[in-house]
Amino acid sequence: MQKLKVGIIGAGYIGDSHIEAIRRVGLPELTAIADVNYNLAKSKADAFGVEKCYKSLDDLVADEEINVIHNCTPTHLHLEINEKIIKAGKHVFSEKPLGRTSAESLQMVELLKKYPDTVAGVNFCYRMNALIQDTKNRIASGEIGKPYLVHGSYLQDWLLFETDYNWRIEPEYTGVSRCVGDIGSHWMDLAQVLTGSKIVEVCANTVIALPTRKKPAGVVETFAVNTDQNYTEVNVETEDYAGVLIKFDSGASGVFQCSEISAGRKCFIDIEIDGSKASFQWNQQTSDQMWKGNRNSNNEQIMRNPNLALGGAKKYSHLAAGHPEGWNDAFKNNLDAYYHFILDGKKMGKDPCDFATFEEAHYLMRLTEAVIKSGKEKRWVKLDEV
Ligand SMILES: NC(=O)c1ccc[n+]([C@@H]2O[C@H](COP(=O)([O-])OP(=O)(O)OC[C@H]3O[C@@H](n4cnc5c(N)ncnc54)[C@H](O)[C@@H]3O)[C@@H](O)[C@H]2O)c1
């Protein structure tokens, strides 16, 4: 089988994970890395033995050998770069959130309608954890009955101090939302994938706990500690926290909170679905374990086990039970699903896929906007209002 040739644009924090996952999947061949910081791209290309290195998207897109481009740049560049990739006739795998606003994500969804052969995926990677895929199938098969409630959180602490800074603080780069768009969207994606239903109404309390921050003169990498003593004090317009009541089209209700200022919480994404027969609860920090709550019998601790995985989930569970799998493996599963979709000649909108599509990412963008609108207007907001 001929390997697909792949390029990455954006060699920062998440770019590293794309490099690793592409190499682990094996079907694609990482052929080029591009970054506006050429030295960074070059150092990564040298470290991983990647053949080509570019300093702009235009150079990467002009490379006729490249079939697929991963967009790992900051959010303000997703629209411009994804559009160029699609128009160049290449497949695109974009980072999330898909855009700064739902107007931007809609523009990409509309453009894709003119390119039916383009395979376009978005990196909502948590859904591809082996136990999440297994649990999705268990819930669909009726194991916990009808889902009544969905609740949980995504908590981090990397922006706790006023000296913590990153491009995500600024609306120009991040868009209408920071915390909800960046991490709340991952939680909402999980909630929708697990229940097979859509969130259609939200009521939010959004909080800017640190109204000013010390912006350093230099760049601070994602999740890095800022040590720069030269700073200017800036006003903050994006939320540090959101607490959100939610309603699903299935009739289920729930609540989630997301925070980037919860000391000690790193990537604490936790979700529980309470059904009419039983409950499931999962936390990605212990992602090989699933708790099942029962009413009339003892509760159960389910361990990821490829031999017991339900339906199509078996293909996402690689190691024997007892050898932990985690975030990197979910990431690899996401790309595995994406690249098999291309190589099997499947078509977006016609064939089902497990990875997130641009349409799903646009829906999550609309939900993010609905949360921000609700927080501002202090009322329930229906999705069709945004
Ligand atoms: N799926 C996930 O779980 C996940 C996790 C982290 C980040 N992300 C997303 O990935 C994106 C990037 O985030 P990050 O934390 O890696 O950011 P980052 O700042 O660490 O890296 C971004 C890289 O893009 C490069 N870049 C900037 N402008 C460019 C341009 N015009 N052309 C080429 N390269 C350019 C920068 O030099 C930098 O190396 C964001 O949209 C973020 O939301 C997703």
CATH number at 219 reads 3.30.360.10
Q: Which of 125, 146, 174 is the last residue in one of the domains?
A: 125
Q: What are the phi and psi torsion angles at 85 (to 5°)?
A: -65, -45
In a domain, 355, yes or no: no
Of 8, 9, 14, 92, best ligand 1 pocket probe by most atoms within 8 Å of the beta carbon: 14
Same domain, residue pair 91 and 134:
no
Same domain, residue pair 117 and 134:
no
pLDDT at 221: 73
CA-181 nearest atom, ligand 1: 43
Q: What are the phi and psi torsion angles at 230 (to 5°)?
A: -95, 115
In a domain, 109, yes or no: yes
Positions in the chain short of pLDDT 50: none
Same domain, residue pair 65 and 209:
no
Same domain, residue pair 35 and 141:
no
Structure tokens at 384: 């069709």
Minimum CA distance residue for ligand 1 atom 39: 12
Q: Which residues, in sequence order, are bridge partners of residue 202? A: 246, 381
Q: What are the phi and psi torsion angles at 300 (to 5°)?
A: -125, 150
CB neighbour class for 171 (10 Å; exposed up to 12, middle 13-18, buried from 19)? middle
CA-41 nearest atom, ligand 1: 39
Distance CA(146)–CA(35), nearest Å, equals: 48
Same domain, residue pair 43 and 92:
yes
Same domain, residue pair 230 and 282:
yes
Same domain, residue pair 76 and 160:
no
In a domain, 169, yes or no: yes
Q: Which of 62, 97, 125 is the last residue in one of the domains?
A: 125
pLDDT at 3: 85
In a domain, 347, yes or no: no
Instruction: Measure 289 CA to ligand 1 centroid, in angstroms.
Output: 30
Domain membership of residue 30 as a residue range? 4-125
Same domain, residue pair 167 and 138:
yes
Same domain, residue pair 184 and 69:
no
Ligand 1 site, residue 12, Cβ cutoff 6 A: yes
Laid out side by side, the sheet with 381-382 consists of 300-303, 289-294, 278-283, 268-275, 147-155, 253-259, 241-248, 199-207, 381-382
Q: Which of 125, 149, 174 is the last residue in one of the domains?
A: 125
pLDDT at 28: 96
Same domain, residue pair 214 and 254:
yes
Number of domains present in the structure of the chain: 2
In a domain, 333, yes or no: no
> pLDDT tens digits, residue range 350-378?
999 999 999 999 999 999 999 999 999 99
Q: How far is CA 266 from the centre of its chain?
A: 16
Ligand 1 site, residue 74, Cβ cutoff 6 A: yes
In a domain, 215, yes or no: yes
Of 73, 168, 269, best ligand 1 pocket probe by most atoms within 8 Å of the beta carbon: 73
Ligand 1 site, residue 189, Cβ cutoff 6 A: no
Report yes or no on whether pTM surpasses 0.95: yes
In a domain, 328, yes or no: no
Same domain, residue pair 90 and 237:
no
CATH number at 45 reads 3.40.50.720
pLDDT at 219: 74
Which stretch of DSSP H or E encloses residue 57? Answer: helix 57-62
Are the beta carbons of 294 and 300 closer than 8 angstroms? yes
Instruction: Measure 72 CA to ligand 1 centroid, in angstroms.
Output: 5
Q: Is 373 helix (H, G, I), strand (E, B) or coil?
A: helix
Minimum CA distance residue for ligand 1 atom 18: 12
Distance CA(131)–CA(270), nearest Å, equals: 13
In a domain, 353, yes or no: no
Q: Which residues, in sequence order, are bridge partners of residue 91? A: 68
pLDDT at 1: 63
Concatenated DSSP letters for 99-168? -SSHHHHHHHHHHHTT-TT--EEE--GGGGSHHHHHHHHHHHTTTT-SEEEEEEEEE--TT-STT---GG
Ligand 1 site, residue 182, Cβ cutoff 6 A: yes
Are the beta carbons of 242 and 180 closer than 8 angstroms? yes
Same domain, residue pair 135 and 241:
yes
